[in-house]
Amino acid sequence: MKALVWHGKQDIRCDTVPDPEIEDAKDAIIKVTSCAICGSDLHLFHNMIPAMKPGDVVGHEMMGEVVETGSSVTKLKKGDRIVVPFTINCDECEQCKRGNYSVCERSNRNKDLAAKVFGHTTAGLFGYTHLTGGYQGGQAEYLRVPFADATHIKVPDSLTDEQVLFLGDIFPTGWQAAVQCDIQPTDTVAIWGCGPVGQMTIRSAILLGAKQVVAIDRLPDRLSMAAAAGAITINVDEENAVERLNELTGGKGPEKCIDAVGMEAHASSTVDSMYDRVKQATMAVNDRVHVLREMIYVCRPAGILSIPGVYGGLADKIPLGQLMNKGLTVRAGQTHVRRWTDDLLRRIEEGQIDPSFVITHTASLEEGPGMYRVFEQKQDSCIKVVLKP
């Protein structure tokens, strides 16, 4: 089959690789009908996340049609149309039973390696390094789905791929980021980063009833999309985010702050971001945490910080004194996708939201390597790429 394969830093190719096979009685195989390039795929593209190996198939946002099932699979049959969450979950361990699917105790087949790095294992993820199981990804013609009875979202034929594809990652990721903030009708919610996850977060915060939502970025096309949803926008190339947020909140700061940027923050004009870039380039730290510092500084005392953005490991000069003395609450994590998807699928079916609004580019799988470049460099007003294997 054809698949997008990681060969090293900024080197993803469309190769011919062996078709996936049933390896366990709980597996299913799907024929991928749509998949997407995620912002966190760029961290792999830039080789910022450890434990990738040449030959790994990338991609963790995908859907398709079931073509084969293992002997123990009871909830799926050939021909079913499913979205596959990027977090692989067993539904049987203590964490899954609590709804904490992204820290499933059984799905990471490299859990000993993960435990050495994180202290305890986290869930297996598709196409996202051997720290999370080394599973092949879904930017491919076919995909093996482990724990298939648990790791799927069955979708109706009445909805298009484009309407439901993002149930596998960016929609529940944006939703969880907003829900973690316990949004109240009096709240100002500030969101750093207006990429695909940021766009879903903005709409989620609005659906959850925030008084005002403020979107922060430096790219006009992204800010225009955020404004179309009803957000107040701040272009950091034109104005100071902290000063503007204080102005919008009577000097008190936003009650809730969300980091939809993660480890590769671009704030090249600030001293702290230049410091981060130098230390990251010399491998002294993993992450650039300008956004996190700014959130801690501007957030209203007793507020909440939510972090859906991906971080890789060690960071430097996080202002713990401000965090502690202001009594801020920090909530972070990979997305517990299936915790949210029944509700989100219902909202799509009822017309509350159509996540396809975020798609700016559709291409073939063979065009995928080029689309990584377009997405990375924000060419042609690119915000979200969908690939059709």
Other residues' Cβ atoms within 10 Å of the Cβ of residue 154? 13
Could you read off the pLDDT tens digit of each residue along the chain, which spans 389 residues?
999 999 999 999 999 999 999 999 999 999 999 999 999 999 999 998 889 999 999 999 999 999 999 999 999 999 999 999 999 999 999 999 999 999 999 999 999 999 999 999 999 999 999 999 999 999 999 999 999 999 999 999 999 999 999 999 999 999 999 999 999 999 999 999 999 999 999 999 999 999 999 999 999 999 999 999 999 999 999 999 999 999 999 999 999 999 999 887 776 667 777 777 777 777 777 778 899 999 999 999 999 999 999 898 788 889 999 999 999 999 999 999 999 999 999 999 999 999 999 999 999 999 999 999 999 999 999 999 999 99
Q: Do 66 and 80 form a contact (C-beta atoms < 8 A)?
A: yes
pLDDT at 265: 75
Instruction: List Cβ neighbours of 106 (8 Å cut-off, separation of 6 or more).
Output: 90, 92, 93, 147
What is the pTM for the complete model shown?
A: 0.95
Burial of 145 (0-12, 13-18, 19+ CB in 10 A): buried
SS (H, E, C) the chain: CEEEEEEECCEEEEEECCCCCCCCCCCEEEEEEEEEECHHHHHHHCCCCCCCCCCEECCCCEEEEEEEECCCCCCCCCCCEEEECCEECCCCCHHHHCCCHHHCCCCCCCHHHHHHHHCCCCCEEECCCHHHCCECCCCECEEEECCCCCCCEECCCCCCHHHHHHHHCHHHHHHHHHHCCCCCCCCEEEEECCCHHHHHHHHHHHHCCCCEEEEEECCHHHHHHHHHHCCEEEECCCCCHHHHHHHHCCCCCCCEEEECCCCECCCCCCHHHHHHHHHHHCCCCCCECHHHHHHHHHCCCCCEEEECCCCCCCCCCCCHHHHHHCCCEEEECCCCHHHHHHHHHHHHHCCCCCHHHHCCEEEEHHHHHHHHHHHHCCHHHCCCEEEEC
pLDDT at 49: 86
Instruction: List Cβ neighbours of 379 (8 Å cut-off, separation of 6 or more).
Output: 373
Question: Which two structure tokens, joined as six digits, stand for 1?
Answer: 């089959």
pLDDT at 277: 76
pLDDT at 275: 75
Measure the CA–CA gap between 276 and 281, rounded to whole angstroms. 8
Other residues' Cβ atoms within 10 Å of the Cβ of residue 283? 7
> Which candidate, 162, 200, 199, 205, places its Cα nearest to that of 184?
205
